[in-house]
């Protein structure tokens, strides 16, 4: 398959996700976000949880393992994941540049936390993204319940 075909195909894909509402886009991107999560970061989150004795240590371990990102802890109990660039291969390979793709990153982060803490443990809000014109991607995580740590 030639790159020209992929360029054309993904331009149609981008146009389609731009036209979808949030619910439709999430339904389309959820399996992609889950597959991406399962490919590596979910394992990092699960391992960090097994070793941690507190949320601060859990997040610190993730920060160390996932080079390039930083995690800010807020006074209100939320945390913000900061990505210095878009790491999505669909973007880095030049196929998709719409900021609507960033919903996949939001869902991915939810799946990563679920790998450690189980279903319905966090709510993630995209605050800004590189594809949306910002210098960094920022995703705010709100915890939906208290967690105990095994470490």
Report if residue 34 sits inside a domain: yes
Report if residue 128 sits inside a domain: yes
Q: In this structure, what CATH number is given to the domain that contains residue 21?
A: 3.30.1380
The reported pLDDT for the residue numbered 82 is 98
Report if residue 23 sits inside a domain: yes
The reported pLDDT for the residue numbered 2 is 64
The reported pLDDT for the residue numbered 3 is 73
Report if residue 96 sits inside a domain: yes
Report if residue 43 sits inside a domain: yes
- How many domains does the structure of the chain reveal? 1
Structural domain boundaries enclosing 37: 3-143
Question: What backbone phi and psi angles, to 5 degrees, belong to 127?
Answer: -90, -40
The reported pLDDT for the residue numbered 12 is 96
Instruction: Sort 86 into a burial class: Cβ within 10 Å, 0-12 / 13-18 / 19+.
Output: buried
Nearest-angstrom CA–CA distance, 124 and 74: 14
The reported pLDDT for the residue numbered 151 is 78
Which CA distances in Å does 135 have to 68, 115, 127, 129? 14, 29, 12, 7
The reported pLDDT for the residue numbered 1 is 57
pTM for the complete prediction?
0.94
Report if residue 110 sits inside a domain: yes
The reported pLDDT for the residue numbered 57 is 97
- Which residues of the chain are modeled with pLDDT < 50? none
Report if residue 69 sits inside a domain: yes
Report if residue 148 sits inside a domain: no
State pLDDT tens for residues 115-137: 999 999 999 999 999 999 999 99
């Amino acid at each position: 398959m030639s790159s020209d075909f992929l360029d054309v195909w993904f331009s149609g894909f981008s146009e389609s996700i731009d036209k979808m509402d949030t619910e439709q886009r999430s339904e389309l991107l959820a399996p992609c976000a889950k597959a991406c999560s399962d490919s590596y970061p979910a394992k990092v989150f699960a391992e960090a949880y097994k070793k941690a004795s507190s949320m601060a240590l859990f997040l610190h371990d993730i920060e160390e393992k996932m080079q390039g990102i930083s995690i800010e802890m807020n006074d209100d109990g939320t945390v913000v994941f900061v990505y210095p660039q878009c790491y999505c291969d669909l973007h880095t390979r030049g196929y998709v540049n719409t900021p609507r793709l960033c919903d996949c990153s939001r869902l991915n982060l939810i799946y990563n936390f679920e790998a450690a803490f189980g279903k319905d443990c966090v709510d993630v809000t995209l605050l800004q993204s590189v594809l949306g014109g910002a210098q960094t991607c920022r995703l705010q995580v709100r915890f939906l319940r208290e967690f105990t740590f095994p470490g």
